[in-house]
Every structure is written in C-alpha cells, then in structure tokens.
Structure 1
Amino acid sequence: MRRSAGFTLVELVMVIVLLAIIATISVQFVTLSTRGALDTGSRQQRALQGVVVSEQVSRELRQAFPISVRTSGSCIEWLPVLSATSYIRLTRGPGFDEIEIAPFASVPSLGGARALIYGYGSTTTSDLYDTSNPGPVSPLISSVDNGASPAVINLSAAHRFSQRSPERRLFVVGAPVSYCQSGRFLYRYSDYGANPSQPTPPAGGTREVLAANLTGAVDFSFSPPTLQRGALVSFSFSLEDPRSGESTPVSQEVQIRNVP
C-alpha cells in the first residue's frame, strides 16, 4: 500500500519561520532604502534652498552703495543703487531744489528715491541715512525731467550737498533694505524709512520670509572698501531638517564694487 505524500508539522513550521525571516529582511531593506531616499532628497532640498537664499542676498548686495552697508548682530542693512549719471550743476539758490544732470539712460523708479553725491571722505555710514541739510543725501526726488536740456532732478525740499564728487557722479538710491534673523526665520524688510541708527529689526514697512528653517545664528560681517579693493560682505547660516535634525551649513562672500 502506497504512503500518501504531504508536509509534516515540523516542515510546515520551518517554512513559516523561513518566510518570516525573508519578510523581515525585505521590510528592513525597503525601509532603509526609503529612508535613505528621503534623507537624500531632504539634503538636496536644503542645499537648493541654501543656494537660492544666498544667491538672492548676493544679488541684492551687489547693487548696494558700498559704504552704506552696515551690520549689527544678525541684521544687515544697505541703500540700493537704482541708477547713476553725471551731474552738471548741483542745487543753487533761490530754491536749492533742482539738480542739472546728464540724461538717464532709463529713468529709475522714484518711490523712496534720493540723490546721493559722493559720500566718501569724512562722511560716516550714519550720514547716508540722514537727510539733514546740508548732507550727502537729498530729500525725496519728486520728479525727473529727462527730456530737458540739460535734464533736471526736482527735489521735494531745498537741499545743499556737503560734498562734491571728483568725477561729478550722482547716484539715485532707493529706500533702505534689511535682512534680519528672528528665531528660525530670516526676513527681508523694505519700505520702512531711513534711520541714522540701524534698526534691528526695522519696524513697519514690508516684511517677507526668506528662510524658515534656520538653526543657530546668522552671521553677517562687512569689510569696508579701500582704494585697492571693493567692499566685502560675508555671511553664513545653517538650514535644519525638522524631521531628522540634520543641518546644512551655507557660507558666501559678496564683493561690492567701489562707486566713487
């Protein structure tokens, strides 16, 4: 009589144990692979974010009037250069509110714009944020007649400039711009008005989020321009992954050309 074929209980238990081991190994492999892919994607995202943030800061700083840059703790402030030309005649009586210039290639936006003459020499950084009369920075520009001969800048109030430019250069600068850290956030501030003392952070105006996952302090440092080189701004910060706590450090140097 033939014996019937089949599995013994011992064989069945061994198969179940082996399948459980294989399943456990497979799950661990898939888990580690998925975690590795997520970590890699997170690192790439932070690296890209660091590039975007540092590039935006660098682009704006390259347009700064070099001796207007000032830092305090985790804040940096500067006056952006909107346009430049040569002046023919500075303000004169009786009104002291018109500047004769060579025409602009393109008339800059006048919202918050002021005329700045030279600004080097005995002028301090604070003087560039003060529109006292006389001084290197004018009151607000009310209008520009770029089609006249010569072209004319009309000021909103009478002003005498305290210096003359050796090259007769005139710069149109916009309202101050600041970057300041507050906790895990890096903000961009604008349209808050000029103040001889650097506000840290500025009050009022517009505040925009530039980065929202900072860890540690943002470090801004400034080396003033000399006759041999331009101004140099260096800054560093770290971006943190809130899930894993891993951080990515970012550092950048920006050279600001001299514009006497």
Structure 2
Amino acid sequence: MRGVKGFTLIELIMVIVLLAIVATVSVQFVALSTRGALDLGARQQRALQGVVIGEQISRQLREAFPLSVRVSGSCLEWLPLLGATNYIQRTQGPGFDKIAVVPFNPVPPVGSRMVIYGYGTGTGELYENTGPGPVSPPATAISASQVTLGSSHRFTQQSPERRLFAVGAPVSICQSGRMLYRYTGYGRSETQVSPPTGGSRAVMSANLAGPVNFSVTPPSLQRAAVVAFTLTLQDYTTGSNEVTTTVQEVQIRNVP
C-alpha cells in the first residue's frame, strides 16, 4: 500500500507563523517607506513655501521707498515706490499746489503722493497727511511737465539731486497666530498700527510656528536700507510637527 503524502498540523502552523512574520515585516517596511516619502514631500513643500514667501516679501520691499520701512511688533510696513523723476521747481505761491517736473517714465497713477528727500525726518512724517513736510497730498493730475496736487503743500527740504518720488498707499505684512497676512487699502497713520485696521488682507501663510521676526537697518547717505526677517513654518498635516526656518535679508536701494 502506497503511503499517503500531505502536511501535518504542526507543519501547517509553522508555515502560517512564518508567513505572518514575513507579512508583518513587509507591512512595516512599506509603512516606514511611505512615511519617509510623506515626510520628505512635506519638507520639500515647506522649503518651497519658505522660498515663495521670502521671494514675495523681497520683491515688494525692493520696490519700497526705503525711508518709509518700519517695524512694530510682528508687523512690517512700507510705502510702495511708484515712480521717480527730477523736479525743476518745487511748489510755489500763491497756490503751492504745482510741481514743475521732468517727465515720469513710467507715469505713476493719479492719487500718488510726491516725496522730496526725507532724510533727517522721522519715519512717521512720511505717513503724515499734513504739511509742510516731505510728503505731499495726493496728486490730482500728472502731465509731462507738471504735477498738480489736490491741495496746497510746502516741502520742507530740497533734494541735492533734485529728485522727486511718487509713493502709493501703505502696505503691511503682519503675523496673527499661525497666519501671515498682507494688508492693503487702509489709512495712513503717523504711528504704526499693528495690525492695521480697515482695508483688506490676503493670506500669505497659514502654518507659522513661533513669532515672525522683522528688523530694519535704516538707510543713510552712504549705504542702503536692509530688511531682515525670520519665519518658521511647521507641518500640521502629517503629524510630524517638523519645522523649517527661513532667514533672509533684502537690500533696498537708496533714493536720496
């Protein structure tokens, strides 16, 4: 009689145990590999986000009137530079509302404010709405040879190079908890308000960790203004809570 071939119960149990061990190791390997890929992707995303935010801030600051950049707490504020030219004659009586100029290129929009010099004055004077001072009321007309102001104004200083600058409404970047906002369309104030009231805001980041540090080295006649900022982005999605820190400096060219 031929013997009956097959598996014993013990052999079957051993095979099942071995398969379970292999499956467990395989699952752990796949899980760790997937976790590593997710963490790597999150790090790359935070790094790219930090580059994008830093570039957004840098590009805007490079177009700022350097004497207007100021910091209060976690808020950075400046006046955008919209155009520049040379003036032929500052405002004169009796109206004190017209400036003779060399043509702007490009021409700033109507509503821009004109600035002459501004060194030796406080930053707050660039945000004032009264005269005499370095900043004029909004312009109501800008032609190739003349800027007409909405009301009379006397400039307190002259530029050594007879330079005239057109600036726009103030802009701020402020932190609020995990959020970083860009504020526009709010009113001017001699004292910096942080965050600004009124106007509108747009989200720049929603995953900040810790405070955003802004610092300003004011310009002088010998060197440009420098704005430094440090921000830390945290991963709130994968549960790792890893952080990526961005440190950057922006040089703003002098405009005496």
CA distance 1:191–1:117, shift in 2 (3 Å): same
Secondary structure of residue in 2 paired with 1:139: strand
Name the structure 2 match of 1:120.
Answer: 119
Name the structure 2 match of 1:25.
Answer: 25
Name the structure 2 match of 1:134.
Answer: 132
Name the structure 1 match of 2:103.
Answer: 103
2: distance between equivalents of 1:66 and 1:53?
20
Name the structure 2 match of 1:230.
Answer: 224
Amino acid paired to 1:196? E
> Is the Cα contact below 8 Å between 2:216 and 2:225 reproduced in 1?
yes
Name the structure 2 match of 1:183.
Answer: 177
Name the structure 2 match of 1:60.
Answer: 60
> Is the Cα contact below 8 Å between 2:84 and 2:105 reproduced in 1?
no
2: distance between equivalents of 1:138 and 1:21?
80
1: distance between equivalents of 2:142 and 2:198?
28
1: distance between equivalents of 2:129 and 2:193?
17
Name the structure 1 match of 2:87.
Answer: 87
2: distance between equivalents of 1:175 and 1:130?
12
Q: Give the TM-score, by structure 1 length.
A: 0.96
Cα distance, 1:228 vs structure 2: 2.9
2: distance between equivalents of 1:92 and 1:225?
30
Q: Within 5 A, what are the aligned runs for 1:130-209?
A: 130-146=128-144, 151-209=145-203
Q: Give the TM-score, by structure 2 length.
A: 0.97
Secondary structure of residue in 1 paired with 2:64: coil
RMSD: 0.9
% identity of equivalent residues: 63
Secondary structure of residue in 2 paired with 1:197: coil
Name the structure 2 match of 1:254.
Answer: 250
Secondary structure of residue in 2 paired with 1:215: coil
2: distance between equivalents of 1:203 and 1:171?
27
Structure 1, 134-143 or 219-228: larger mean CA deviation: 219-228
Cα distance, 1:251 vs structure 2: 0.7
Long gaps (5+) in structure 2: none
Count of aligned pairs: 254
Cα distance, 1:65 vs structure 2: 1.2
1: distance between equivalents of 2:42 and 2:148?
53
Cα distance, 1:229 vs structure 2: 1.6
1: distance between equivalents of 2:222 and 2:51?
29
2: distance between equivalents of 1:209 and 1:170?
33
Long gaps (5+) in structure 1: none
Cα distance, 1:193 vs structure 2: 1.8
2: distance between equivalents of 1:228 and 1:116?
20
Per-residue CA shift, 1:19-48, capped at 9, x if unaligned? 101110110011001100000000000000
2: distance between equivalents of 1:179 and 1:214?
14
Secondary structure of residue in 2 paired with 1:221: strand
Q: Does 1:239 align with 2:204?
A: no
Cα distance, 1:234 vs structure 2: 0.5
2: distance between equivalents of 1:221 and 1:166?
29
Name the structure 1 match of 2:70.
Answer: 70
Secondary structure of residue in 2 paired with 1:232: strand
Cα distance, 1:165 vs structure 2: 0.6
Per-residue CA shift, 1:134-153, capped at 9, x if unaligned? 1100001111122xxxx111
Moved over 4 A (4+): none
2: distance between equivalents of 1:157 and 1:174?
17
Per-residue CA shift, 1:72-122, capped at 9, x if unaligned? 1111111111100000111111211111100112212234x100000013x
1: distance between equivalents of 2:208 and 2:234?
6
